[in-house]
Every structure is written in structure tokens, then in C-alpha cells.
Amino acid sequence: MTRLRKNISVLVVSIIMLFIVSGYYCKNIRAQVNPSSNQIPTKIDVFLYDSNDKYISLVRQNFENIQGNNQGKIEFTFYDGMNDQSIQNKDINSVLQANKTDLILLDIVDIKKSREVINRIKEKGIPVILFNREPLNMEDVKSYNKAFFVGTDASQAGILQGQILINMWKSNKNMDNNGNNIMEYVMLMGERDNIEAVERTKYVILTINSDGIKTQELALRVAGWNRNTARSMIEALYLKYGKNIEAIISNNDGMAIGAIEALQKYGYNKGDSAKIIPVVGVDGIPEALELINQGIMTGSVLQDAQAMAEATYKMGMNLVAGNAPLDNMTYEFDSTGVAIRIPYRQIIS
């Protein structure tokens, strides 16, 4: 009887062990068949300096495309800074206090406040990729080993704009309205202290002058990247300078389009090649491309919104995964060691 009880006990234990092992393997097989069933998406908070900026709206669209192609893997939340650092600070503080973000992508409003914002993010140990608007001092980015920057070579945009105007000047003698052999222009600047604006403004004229063409600045106006502001400014400047304006150089397409709308009020840039004041911009937004195709706008310099979004996202995800920031990317850091530059491309009719 004792031996029978012992045999029964061994049998019961064996059956229990069989169920445990079988359950483990079934669970393991289910996990292998559907590994993403319990996957928690990477939460990415994206802070935009101003959603009304046409280029930034294109960057956002490309972020949304990335999310659409990675359903269940990533989750973007967008915040509009409305070109106001205090609004952006409030949103950033709210996200940091919630402790639910894995990655921050930051298009900072005030480039002079980068260190303050980065320090707050650093306290939480969250990776941050700044993009588009370059901090005034790259040391701010270097101060945190999980912070990097994705931008452009602003001087390149100015150089390419200059080349467009050089070709126009040489191929169309009618551009020199008063025949004094001097290109007289109006400059529309985005912001006084913005690195992109400063470099674009500087290098477009340096490029033209280096080709032996003399220039004269009739006026420089800071229009805050804004189409409506630029329109009002050019309306007033045309009344003052009239046909002496031989070119309008804009730091972005939005202001360039505003300038064109002002010129059209006075009968220019409506499609008649004999009555046009050359206008060049930067960004390559769809509306500008259409105007270029119609011969209404002279040219633009493409700032690749898709490349900007993809590079910013990929670098950020590398940091989230604990990989090197440029792992499986084709870019290299510039001399700062923390920034990559998306190349520009010239667009003309």
C-alpha cells in the first residue's frame, strides 16, 4: 500500500510538471509568433516653434508619415509653441512632470534660451534632439550627452540664392532697370539674431559680389518669417523705391510670397515676363514651387522637410535604444561633434 501511494505521488508530480512545462512552451511560442502584441509604443513629444510656419507644417506632416508607417511602435504628440517661448516652456514642463515621454524633439522658439530648456530635460535624463532652429551657442547642446542638433548649413542657402540671382542678372539685361550696372535689392530678413537668417542674408550678397557684380541694399526689413508682414513692408517700400527695386531677396518662401502679393498690387509678377521683379526665397514649399513653375517667382532653395524629419527621428530613436546617435545613418557630425546638416538644393523655373 505504501509503495502504491508513493507511485501515485510520483505520477501526480509528473503530471503537474508536464502541465507547467507545456504551459511555458505554449506561452513562449505565442510570444514568438506575435512578439509585438504587448509592445508599448515609444512616446515621442514634438515641440514646434510655430505651426503656422509653412516649412514647419511640412516637417510635421513628415513626422506623421513616419508614425503612420510604424503603427503601434511609436506615438507622436505635437505641441505648438505659437512663436512664444513661455508657451513652449509651459508645454515642456507639463511633459516632464508627467514622466511619460521617451524622447523629446525640440524646435525651440527662442534660440537664446536653449541652455535653460536643455538643463530641465537633462534633469530627467530624457534624450532630446533639437532641430531646425539652431541654438545661438552650440555649447548649450554639448552640455548634455543625450542632446544633439539636426539643422542645415545656413550659408549654403545664401550661396544658392546668390547663384540664382547671378544667373538671372547675366541672362537678362532688363533686370538692370536704370542701367547703372548695380543690382539694387530689398532684403527680407527672418529675425535679427537667428543664425539661419544672419547667414542667409550675409552669404547671398557675398556670393553675388564675389562674381564681380556690384550690389546696393535699398532696404532691409525684419519680417519675422511672416507672409503678411512682408506683404505690408514691400507695399510701402515699392511706393518709396518703385522701379529701382531690381530684386527682392527673402530668407524664406513665406515672406517671398508676401512680397509677390505686394508687387502684384502694382501690376508686377503676374506672369508677364516683361514685367517682373525677381524674388527668391528659401524652403521650397509647395506654393512657392507652383509660383516658380508659373514664372511668377524666380527661384527658391529647397530645405528638405522629409530629410529633416527622418534624420531627427532616426537619431532620437538611436538614443532611446542606447545606440550611437548616428547608427545606421548616412550623416556625419560637423566640427561641433553634436550637429548634422541637411543639404539644400536649388530650385528655378
Domains: count for the chain? 2
Which pLDDT tens digit goes with each residue over 68-126? 999 999 999 999 999 999 999 999 999 999 999 999 999 999 999 999 999 999 999 99
Of 215, 208, 255, 212, whose CA–CA distance to 233 is shortest? 255
Percent of the chain with pLDDT over 70: 89
348 assigned to some structural domain: no
Asked if 116 and 194 sit in the same domain, the reply is no
Confidence of residue 349 (pLDDT cuts 50, 70, 90): confident
* pLDDT digit string, tens, across residues 24-43: 333 332 333 333 446 899 99
Quote the pLDDT of residue 273: 87
Q: Please state, in angstroms and rounded to a whole number, the distance separating the CA atoms of residues 26 and 184.
A: 78
Does 192 map to a domain? Answer: yes
Full domain range(s) for residue 249: 155-302
Residues 66 and 109 in one domain: yes
171 & 278 share domain: yes
Task: Report which of residues 13 and 90 the model is more confident about.
Answer: 90
pLDDT at 38: 63
In this structure, is residue 224 part of a structural domain? yes
pLDDT digits (tens, 9 = 90+) for 120-153: 999 999 999 999 999 999 999 999 999 999 999 9
Residues 170 and 298 in one domain: yes
- For the chain, how big is the Rg over CA atoms in Å? 28
- What is residue 34's predicted lDDT score, i.e. its pLDDT? 38
Torsion of CA 260, 263, 269, 274, to 10 degrees: -150
> How high does pLDDT run on average in the chain?
92
Say yes or no: 256 and 121 in one domain: no
CATH number assigned to the domain comprising residue 77: 3.40.50.2300
Tell whether 201 is covered by a domain.
yes
Which of 321, 314, 317, 312 is closest to 339 using CA atoms?
Answer: 312
Residue spans of beta strands (DSSP E) within the chain = 42-48, 74-80, 103-106, 128-131, 147-152, 182-189, 214-222, 247-250, 279-280, 299-302, 339-342, 345-348
* 99 and 235 housed in the same domain: no
- 275 lies in some domain: yes
Whole-number Å distance between alpha carbons of 179 and 168:
15
Confidence of residue 7 (pLDDT cuts 50, 70, 90): very low
Q: What is the three-class DSSP state of 279? A: strand
The C-alpha cell of 67 is what? Answer: 508614425
